[in-house]
Amino acid sequence: KNLKDATMTPLSAVAEAFEEMAKLLKSRKEDQQLRLDTFCEACSLVSVLFGCLGLAFKFAESEYLSKIRDLEEGSKTYNTLQDIINADVANKRVKTQGSHSRNLRRVRQGLDLIRILFEQFVSTEEHSLKEAASRAYQQACAPYHCWSVRTAVAAGMCTLPTRKKLLLKLKESDSSAEKKMRRYISAADTVIEYIDNLYLSKNISLDW
Q: Which residues bind ligand 1PZ (CB under 6 A)?
A: 46-47, 49-50, 53, 60, 63-64, 67, 97, 102, 106, 109-110, 113-114, 117, 133, 137, 141, 145, 149, 153
Handedness of CA 14, 34, 182, 119 (dihedral sign): negative
Whose Cβ is closer to ligand 1PZ: residue 33's or residue 96's?
A: 96
Shortest Cβ distance from residue 66 to ligand 1PZ (Å)? 8
Q: What distance in Å separates the CA atoms of residue 183 and residue 169, rounded to the nearest whole number?
A: 20
Cβ proximity to ligand 1PZ, 137 vs 194, nearer residue: 137
Q: What's the min distance (Å) between Cβ of 63 and ligand 1PZ? A: 4
Of 79 and 182, nearer to ligand 1PZ (C-beta) is: 182
Give whichever of 47 and 190 is closer to ligand 1PZ, judged by the CB atom.
47
- Gyration radius (Cα) of the chain, Å: 17
- Name the maximum alpha-carbon separation found in the chain: 49
Q: Which is nearer to ligand 1PZ, 32 or 89 (CB)?
A: 89
Residue type, 36: L
CA angle 193, 57, 99 (to 5 degrees): 45
Nearer to ligand 1PZ, 2 or 32 (CB): 2
- Smallest distance from ligand 1PZ to CB 48, Å: 8
The separation between CA 66 and the C-alpha centre of its own chain, rounded to angstroms, equals 13
Spatial distance between the Cα atoms of 15 and 180, rounded to a whole number of angstroms: 6
Task: Please give the residue whose beta carbon sits closest to ligand 1PZ in the complex.
Answer: 110
